[in-house]
Structure 1
Amino acid sequence: MRNARLQVSPEVGSWLDRRSSKAGDRTTAELVAAKRGTRVSVVIPARDEEATVGAIVTAIREELYGVLVDEILVVDSHSTDATAEVAAAAGADVVAQDAVFPGLAGLPGKGEALWKGVAATSGDLVVFVDGDLHDFTTGYVTGLLGPLLTDPSVAYVKGFYHRPLGTEADGGGRVTELVARPLLNMFWPELAGFVQPLAGEYAGRREVLESIPFVANYGVEIGHLIDLLELRGLDALAQVDLGHRAHRHQSTQALGRMAGQIMQTLFDRLQRYDRLVTAVPPATTLAQFQRGASAGGVERELVLTDLTSPERPPLNSLALRHTA
């Protein structure tokens, strides 16, 4: 680690020491004592996650609900399986993504589900947990809450963990290593200390989450970090080692679309914060090829994806309130 510190700025090195911690640094009893009337909501965005969402909800319900967690909400993001039914049976409140702000035309994407989840909950602190985790433990929730409950200067906490891919102990997070990390190091080196800037497990104070826009698609996480760095400063951000994470891995083509959305979000922020202005904006269409059967054999079919990154405005800028 000493040699690695030589490659980052003194500011980032100091931040790593002060704002990095482990989930086990604080016991649940210590967090309950620090809670002092603070309401905590857990939001789980889920699309076709009937195989995993029930166990996640059950663990939170049995170990933390009524003690540290006051609200468990699953946002059903257009599932075609029994995600909603399984989550409700496990004890979560469940809301369909498009039922939140029904007067607004719905947008597709994970960021939309997260934005709707904030709007449909009431906690002073909001913890986000992905619905596809196979090895979930409630240490994810307690770990993310630790810095927020014990340090009022912390506004937003990201999780990080070992991410296996097959037999590789840390082979997951391919989009992070190939796209997000190189670009952040180039244009926002202040964020170079985040181990997993795209992690789906994180938490924040409601007033902070309601003050920033949510990109509707997979650009949401990188958008959060950049916006909060610009608006609140690096010291308002923290990260926690959550140990290990195993989840359903996406195809290479799906990762390509995710990478494109993340790059679009980053280039939007470059222009928004006057870090890079180009005469010709980047194109927003991604061309990919997938195998397709034909009479003459196997051909490659051209698939086009619009990478435009629509976003929801900060919730505190809206006059309307959520009605389901």
Structure 2
Amino acid sequence: MLPEAADWLRRRSWTADRWPVERLLAAKRAAGAAGTVSVVLPALDEETTVGAIVEVVRRELMEKVPLVDELVVVDSGSADGTAAAAAAAGAAVVHRDAVLPRLAPVPGKGEVLWRSLLVTRGSIVCFIDADLREFDPAFVTGIVGPLLTDPGLQLVKAMYDRPLEADGAVVAAGGGRVTELVARPLLNLHWPRLAGFVQPLGGEYAARRSLLERLHFPTGYGVELGLLVDALELVGLDALAQVDVGVRHHRHQDSQALGRMAATIYRTALERLDRTHRLKAAEDLARPVLTQFSRDPDSGGFRAHSHAVSATERPPMIEVPEYSASRTGFATGDPRQG
């Protein structure tokens, strides 16, 4: 890992218990209008989970304590009872197609997040995926906390364990397959300053509206990578941070869906590399490395592991003198010649 990224990882990675609600309420009061918080859930066919998330946010962070000012579910065309479940639980529900109707919507999560800026008013916008189970309020307080207490921060991502849960079996670190196979290698090789992010594709993050309104939003699954890369370019690494919120339980997609997601993310990266004329690996990466993370059983935090990424290539054999000499020997009938 680059020294800059390693230093950032040490200084800009925290745990959610650093921001108890009482501290956040005091910071919110002191910030005034700059401390207003909107929570947005993009949703597509999430009837079974969206209501429980809304209930927790409303009960714990709006009714018990006035931390969240508005809670909006943006439905991107659900065929089930997502909208009704969200409304019954207490969220304001907005249908994607009703936002900016002069512009025909396109499918994709990023499209919904982009349009949500038109129907929210908070100075801090917190995005939460609508498929989470066993939802903990720390997913909100943990990522909103740094923004309320540090005016120098612009975007904060959640980090967490992401077990793969399928058919009754649990693989502790089996989730995040697209992260490990596509996003993390792309970031390490082309934007190595972002190598310290544990969950770069995670859907739980908060940012200042003043930043979000200046960023391009890829309309599909590439939105998280695109926003992270563009935020780095616009406000710099030190304005970004991450907070450990524990464990993320959610619905997992099949391999074909993951393939489509991976292709979209790769395309998003290529667009940014082309835009900045950086189609080769980052010049500041002296030795290509890949930094990965695992939970440390002793400290309870995340431990970084860096591995060399082989970039050595051999020339075509026909360019090697010894090979040419050996072929000459074969041609003359004496394989030992040369």
Shared fold (TM-score greater than 0.5)?
yes
Q: Equivalent residues in 2 for 1:134-173 (5 A)?
A: 134-166=133-165, 167-173=170-176
Q: Which amino acid aligns with 2:187?
A: L
* CA positional deviation for 1:104: 0.5
User: After TM superposition, which residue ranges in structure 1, 4 or more long, deviate above 2 angstroms?
Assistant: none
Distance 2:240 2:276 in 1: 19
Matched, 1:237 2:240: yes
- SS of equivalent to 1:52: helix
Distance 1:114 1:65 in 2: 22
Matched, 1:10 2:3: yes
What is residue 35 of structure 1 aligned with on the other side? 28
CA contact 1:20–1:238 (8 Å) conserved in 2: yes
Q: Which amino acid aligns with 1:182?
A: P
Distance 2:171 2:93 in 1: 35
Matched, 1:219 2:222: yes
Number of matched pairs? 270
What is residue 252 of structure 1 aligned with on the other side? 255
TM-score normalised over the length of structure 2? 0.79
What is residue 48 of structure 2 aligned with on the other side? 51
Matched, 1:25 2:28: no
Distance 1:273 1:240 in 2: 29
CA contact 1:223–1:265 (8 Å) conserved in 2: yes
What is residue 210 of structure 1 aligned with on the other side? 213
Matched, 1:82 2:69: no
* CA positional deviation for 1:135: 1.5
Q: Which amino acid aligns with 1:176?
A: T
Distance 1:119 1:237 in 2: 24
For structure 2, the residue ranges without an aligned partner over 5 or more in a row are 281-338
> How many percent identity over aligned positions?
60
* CA positional deviation for 1:274: 1.6
Distance 1:128 1:118 in 2: 11
Can you list the C-alpha shifts for 1:253-277, whole angstroms capped at 9, x where unaligned? 0000000000000000001112128
Can you list the C-alpha shifts for 1:192-217, whole angstroms capped at 9, x where unaligned? 00001000000000010001011000
Computed over aligned residues only, the root mean square deviation of the Cα atoms, in angstroms, reads: 0.9
Distance 1:73 1:141 in 2: 14
TM-score normalised over the length of structure 1? 0.82
Distance 2:12 2:151 in 1: 13
Distance 1:11 1:43 in 2: 32
Distance 1:184 1:213 in 2: 18
For structure 1, the residue ranges without an aligned partner over 5 or more in a row are 1-7, 278-324
* CA positional deviation for 1:16: 0.8
CA contact 1:43–1:118 (8 Å) conserved in 2: no
What is residue 266 of structure 2 aligned with on the other side? 263
